[in-house]
Structure 1
Amino acid sequence: MKLWTIQPVEVWELLQQQGFYRGTKEYVYEEFLYSYDWLVGEMEKRLGPRPEPESYPVWAWKQWSGSYVRPDLRFRGHLEKGTRGVRLEIDIPDEQVILSEFGKWNYVLNYWYLPENDEDWDSFNEELEKRGLNFFQQKPLPDPYYHQKIVDSWQRIFDIEPKNEDERGELSIQATFWELRLEQVRKVDFFVAR
């Protein structure tokens, strides 16, 4: 599977030195640790165990932003402004990758319920309101049943099939995997983040 990963230039140097790169917890903001740990659990179910107990996902793009397949380096936000970085075009075996929809990942990061549709959203929020619960204000919800409903709803991030032709042009598909090997790199583009 052809993917693109954006990394600080130091990751590229490390990859050249040791022949592989694995994600680490040190790059995860503490407020997102629960979400990342959830994703790690999903990856272990779908891909197998981590290479090391402290390994975290390596992130890449399958489709960066709708009609842009690879990340456009002229845009801001790939890395902190002024950071020297690389865009690596890589080829990872399909069975080593989990794909998810970037916009939906924000529901996981923010501990939001990810609805099937507008009616599902309204219904779930009405249920919570009747019980005096609000996932925007209580993280995690104190009621284990509704907490689990939120966590279970996150499975929808893995639904990357567009519902219609308009949605096809809007999707941003991200990829996670355990390890990037030097021999999987096909092209390197250097840049300075804007």
Structure 2
Amino acid sequence: MEQKTVNLYTRQNDKTLYQLERNGRIINERIYVELHFGDIAPLFMESYDWFTREAAKKVAKPEDVKAPIWCSISPDNCLKPIPDTVVYVLEVPQDQIIYFDDVKWDYVLNRIYLPKDDEDAAAYKRHLKEIGVENGFEFFEGRYKGMFPEEVERIRASWKRVFEIDNWTIFNVCGNIWEIKKEWVKRIVRPGESVD
């Protein structure tokens, strides 16, 4: 039986072309994520590290890989190539893709509670009021840091919902992969060229 594949699209630094040619694959290093975010990297790395650990439970992570590669599921929602970048048009085995909700990812990135639904969001807001907390943004950094360890755990537990996709559209669903294998690359799009 032939394995089902899915088209994915990812913009990467054009230096990855050398990695692909030399190694037959592209992998993401933690340092690349840190460089991408610059001065604000320390704020986001805990979220990225959490995502990497959780995603590895869904699709086995190669030992040498330190971070996933973000991909779009549609050429219409893919970041277009700009100078010093290329877009890889990929055909990836379906069992190698970690799907997640990019809208929900903002909750993880901001290190706040990710509610199940509107009712849960309202209940959590009431809960914060009951414990005397004005907002849920300051449990990891800020005035409540270290004061509510049970809230930190509750927030972290809620983040797993990032993998629950309630609304499957090209605008909120992303498909991450651990590596780009040379045989998965169907086309390389350079600045000025069309992705689709």
Question: 2:73 matched to 1:62?
Answer: yes
After superposition, the Cα gap between the structure-2 partners of 1:103 and 1:63, relative to the gap in structure 1 and judged at 3 Å, is farther
Q: Is the 8 A contact 1:101 1:171 kept in 2?
A: no
Aligned length: 175
1:144 to 146, 149, 169: 149
Q: CA deviation at 1:87?
A: 1.0
Inter-partner Cα distance in structure 2 for 1:39 and 1:50 = 15
Large movers: runs of 4+ above 3 Å: 168-171
Q: Secondary structure at the match of 1:60?
A: coil
- In structure 2, stretches of 5+ residues that fail to align are 1-5, 34-40
Inter-partner Cα distance in structure 1 for 2:161 and 2:21 = 36
Amino acid at match of 1:119: E
Q: CA deviation at 1:85?
A: 1.1
Q: Is the 8 A contact 1:32 1:109 kept in 2?
A: yes
Q: Secondary structure at the match of 1:56?
A: coil
* Equivalent in the alignment of 1:71: 78
Q: CA deviation at 1:158?
A: 1.4
* Equivalent in the alignment of 2:85: 85
Question: 2:14 matched to 1:9?
Answer: yes
Q: CA deviation at 1:185?
A: 0.1
Q: CA deviation at 1:17?
A: 2.0
TM-score, normalised to structure 1, is: 0.80
Q: Secondary structure at the match of 2:175?
A: strand
Moved more, 141-150 or 117-126: 141-150
Q: Is the 8 A contact 1:62 1:175 kept in 2?
A: yes
Amino acid at match of 1:45: K
Inter-partner Cα distance in structure 1 for 2:16 and 2:30 = 15
Amino acid at match of 1:58: I
Moved more, 3-12 or 129-138: 129-138
Inter-partner Cα distance in structure 2 for 1:145 and 1:72 = 38
Q: CA deviation at 1:16?
A: 1.6
Q: Is the 8 A contact 2:9 2:90 kept in 1?
A: yes
Amino acid at match of 1:155: K
Inter-partner Cα distance in structure 1 for 2:78 and 2:188 = 13
After superposition, the Cα gap between the structure-2 partners of 1:83 and 1:189, relative to the gap in structure 1 and judged at 3 Å, is same
For the aligned residue pairs, the C-alpha RMSD in angstroms reads: 2.2
2:49 to 14, 37, 48: 37
Q: 1:9-59 CA deviation, whole Å, 9 max, x = no partner?
A: 11123212221111111122221111111111112211124322x621111
* Equivalent in the alignment of 1:103: 103
Q: Equivalent residues in 2 for 1:125-164 (5 A)?
A: 125-133=125-133, 134-139=135-140, 142=146, 143-162=148-167
Q: CA deviation at 1:170?
A: 6.7
- In structure 1, stretches of 5+ residues that fail to align are 163-167
Q: CA deviation at 1:169?
A: 5.2
Inter-partner Cα distance in structure 2 for 1:119 and 1:170 = 26
Inter-partner Cα distance in structure 2 for 1:7 and 1:160 = 25
